[in-house]
Amino acid sequence: MLATEADLSTSLLSHAKSLFSHIDFSHGAVAAVSGGSDSTALLLLLKLHLDRTAPSAKLLAVTVDHGLRQGSAAEAQTVAKLCAERGIAHRTLAWAGSKPSTGLPAAARDARYRLLAEAARAQGIGLIVTGHTADDQAETVLMRQARDEGREFAEVAGRGLAGMAPATLYDWREWIVRPLLGTRRAALRDFLRREHVGWADDPTNTDLAFERPRVRAALAGESVESMEGRLLLAGQAAVERSRLGAGAADLIHRFASQPATGLIRLDLSLLSAGDDRAAIHALRILLATAGGAAFLPDQARSEALFDRLKGGFLCATLSRTVVDFRRAGIFLRREARGLPLATAAVDNTIWDGRRHITLNDSSGGLLIAPLGATAAKRLEIDDGEIPVSLMRAALAAEPTSQQAFETPGLPQGEPGSAGFVVRPVVSPFARFLPSFDLAPARAVAGLIGASPLPPPPLRGHSAD
């Protein structure tokens, strides 16, 4: 049920508790506050809740000034003034550097989350709270529905129509939480009027040159019943997406293994496990992970591949991943084509979408490059159940290091040399992991040896 103006005005303390009581604020929170009505109301309601329930919890309001229009700096100053009046710590962070000529909204969003995460990290806070509302959720669902027109309904309902998750893990470190997804924007504005607090209206929110404002205008005349129905559909899709993910996670636990670094083996029994939909979903996640792809491969192509696998032996490529059907199983590994060229090692970066690189203190001047087939042939590998050729091919795509200048005695010819530490990442979820997908993300992380997930901040959202 959506929160209405009456809900907020009747019992503000009670409503604030219902919005935030399921969130763990023990390590503090960063509140993203642009100065608009939604984020301003979020900040005041959150401050009210923490004053009442956790007065010692750290609260930092962060305003990101994208520098895209006149007046943005003044709006940030207005937020800073409000925070000073309410006793809330505040920082303004600027999006510096050149701005893209196309894809500006997506680039601005990426910059915003990066800056918010950096601010949270600097304060030792693992939680970012944003003011996304029920209106934003309805817009998101409608946009995804329009993009997915013509695709199989089950795929759309299971993923796109779920909309924004109540919690999303960013960069496998900070949780982004959206407690207002069930609250209408009109209710929040009514609350601000009663508090005699103003807000800024960003003119880009009504600029029909961008997709979201066009969708917002289309939804402006919708009745409360229509909004309720749209959000009910999103809720049902979210449940379905979580169920699909849980099924995929179960199949990964039962039928997937990693016989060598970079090589995933699927037991042939996966093809007859009885839940093709979950099996295809698991396959898509594993394909993206093995290939270092940020997005899951196309649903239709994945279904076609799964059907071909049922037909017997084959060797195919999808999502930068070689799929090799052998008697010993179905093997997934990064294809040799398109691997990165030798490049200077940079600390705390993702290499080829698959490996997180952490440099050692004495690793200046290193170059990172794929091990390569020639060096892989020199590795000593036990000849067992898994074909040695497959393990060598997988290891050939792993990162290794060479000094930029020749250094006598430097060990070479093996993945992950002494100059840096390599940790696998779950590629499709490495940047944004919605809480809908926690189960398969954890299953794959355990399979490939990725870093464990930080505990979800919401009660009822287990990663198991």
Residue 13, amino acid: L
**Does residue 253 register a pLDDT over 80?**
yes
User: Domain holding 84: CATH number?
Assistant: 3.40.50.620
Tell me the three-class secondary structure of 197-240, residue by residue. CCCCCCHHHHCCCCHHHHHHHHHCCCCHHHHHHHHHHHHHHHHH
pLDDT at 188: 93
Confirm whether 163 is domain-assigned.
Answer: no
Q: 156-208 pLDDT, tens per residue? A: 444 568 889 999 999 999 999 999 999 989 899 999 999 999 999 876 665 65
Q: Is the pTM of this model over 0.85?
A: yes
**Does residue 418 register a pLDDT over 80?**
no
Tokens 């430097």 belong to 410
What is residue 133's DSSP assignment? -
Confirm whether 25 is domain-assigned.
Answer: yes
Burial class (CB in 10 A: 0-12, 13-18, 19+), 224: exposed
Tokens 């100065």 belong to 35
Do 78 and 195 lie in one domain? The reply is yes
Do 360 and 313 lie in one domain? The reply is no
Structure tokens at 368: 């990172």
Give 449's contacts (C-beta < 8 A, 6+ positions apart).
258, 423, 424
Q: 387-415 pLDDT, tens per residue? A: 999 999 999 999 998 653 344 444 444 56
Do 127 and 42 lie in one domain? The reply is yes
Distance CA 212, CA 189 (A): 20
Confirm whether 187 is domain-assigned.
Answer: yes
Do 370 and 330 lie in one domain? The reply is no
Residue 406, amino acid: E
Confirm whether 145 is domain-assigned.
Answer: no
Q: 115-134 pLDDT, tens per residue? A: 999 999 999 999 999 999 99
Do 73 and 207 lie in one domain? The reply is yes
Residue 226, amino acid: S
Tokens 């939909």 belong to 277
Do 70 and 194 lie in one domain? The reply is yes
CA atoms within 13 A on the CB side of 430: 23
Q: Is 72 helix (H, G, I), strand (E, B) or coil?
A: helix
Distance CA 316, CA 298 (A): 15
In the chain, how many domains are there?
A: 3
Do 214 and 277 lie in one domain? The reply is no
Task: Write out the residue range of the structural domain in which residue 279 sits.
Answer: 255-335+433-448
The dihedral through the CA atoms of 79, 84, 89, 94 has a sign that is positive
Tokens 């960063």 belong to 30
Do 390 and 440 lie in one domain? The reply is no
Among 171, 203, 222, the domain boundary falls at 222
Do 191 and 326 lie in one domain? The reply is no
Nearest residue to 254 (alpha-carbon basis) of 241, 266, 242: 266
**% of the chain residues with pLDDT over 70:** 83
Mean pLDDT value of segment 373-389: 87
Compute the chain's Rg from CA coordinates.
24
Do 315 and 384 lie in one domain? The reply is no
Do 422 and 384 contact (CB within 8 A), yes or no? Answer: no
Do 419 and 345 contact (CB within 8 A), yes or no? Answer: yes
**Does residue 3 register a pLDDT over 90?**
no
Q: What is the largest CA-CA distance in the chain?
A: 76
**Does residue 38 register a pLDDT over 50?**
yes
Q: 316-339 pLDDT, tens per residue? A: 999 999 999 999 999 999 999 999
Do 292 and 415 lie in one domain? The reply is no
Do 271 and 327 lie in one domain? The reply is yes
More confident residue, 103 or 361: 103
Distance CA 338, CA 39 (A): 43
